[in-house]
Structure 1
């Protein structure tokens, strides 16, 4: 065989090996994750937008979870407009929710906004199962969605919930209405029940009956940069979610993140948080 022919043969074999190897890697990568039509909704924090969700979403895309990401814009009066391409049956679709009024402090409105987004997804794409991820004020959308719909069999079923930097027990900085302030001397018992409750937390305790029994798996992620706070929200306030949902949840897990990137507004761009999200929401169970 001539040297040129040998060289061509070696080149062809090398290309085939690369193609086959790439295909095997891609298959193994995709097999790490469930292949589901369950839609995962991301809710941003106060004064923010869907851009704050991009880091977490891009981490999921890069890992091979999904190729389908759309945005749901919600106006102050609750009108929903969807942007992007998605088809019925899309695998592990992600919805970045974007509120026009990103400082809405009427928490019932958050429940209304989230409900309208879910209704639109069901109507347009036939979505009947969802996951929800919230950061800071975005966690309120999840709780108040469930206060409205937790026992409604006609709404899509919430499968998994991830709360990041939640302020369920209240906030401590100036300018916050009394109904949202964290009571002084807040402490939790072994079940996460606060010794003092503000008006809003008392309202949220209805979740203890609104959540369906043993349906929703909950992951509660909070940051500690020192002194049991993420710099904006105390750990006690974040961890008081336990009392609201754990007795009804399929599972309830807490994850404390430490270090400088555990600061409140950095948690949604934290690689440890990204990895925890991907594992909890989409990784196949062995």
Structure 2
């Protein structure tokens, strides 16, 4: 295996892990990094989706005590059953819409203008969400969420099918606008990511298996490992960060990144089409 290709896979893994759970769109950053590294093509698209699984393993590790206690208490605890039910309810809308419209969205919405617009608009939505009064918060903990709360956050997650929106951004900020505290929205976003990203990775690998061979295993392993390590560090940092900070810096970053998309698309540096 080409050592340079493995190095590129490691860099892409780091980019995935650092951006997957922040409200800044991992997809947009992977496209930018892939274009700069020359890591593009159909196989690269499968790689980008598959290495999300490494990031999810990091979430499972960070939340292992909560996940373990929930599964152990499932037969006897109403709270445990409600959390599992909420995750399932939140997960289903994305499954239905992805199967129905995923290909159309990929073909028609992945344009520089759409990506830049969603980055910039998402930034302003975050600024709006962070300016809401504290009295609008009605759900302090993920354990206090109702199935209707979960469904609404699940519908918000569907917005992330539009390139540049950010799955984490849609679920966290959507949750906050729906009355969840910053901590509750972030926790539920992470729990919801587990079935969503694992499902997307497995489906992509199965669907595009004709593009892959045994020779690709080292490439994917390197991407998964570096995605896991960087995501583990990022998730731990983010949970500490939100305890005393807002998402406002990410809003301004999104706006700046949207401008970068426009500039790179206009100059021809990055081929954002068909990504």
Scaled by the length of structure 2, the TM-score of the pair is 0.26
Q: Larger RCO: Structure 1 or Structure 2 (Cα < 8 Å, ≥ 6 residues apart)?
A: 2
- More helix as a share of residues: 2
Scaled by the length of structure 1, the TM-score of the pair is 0.25
- More strand as a share of residues: 1
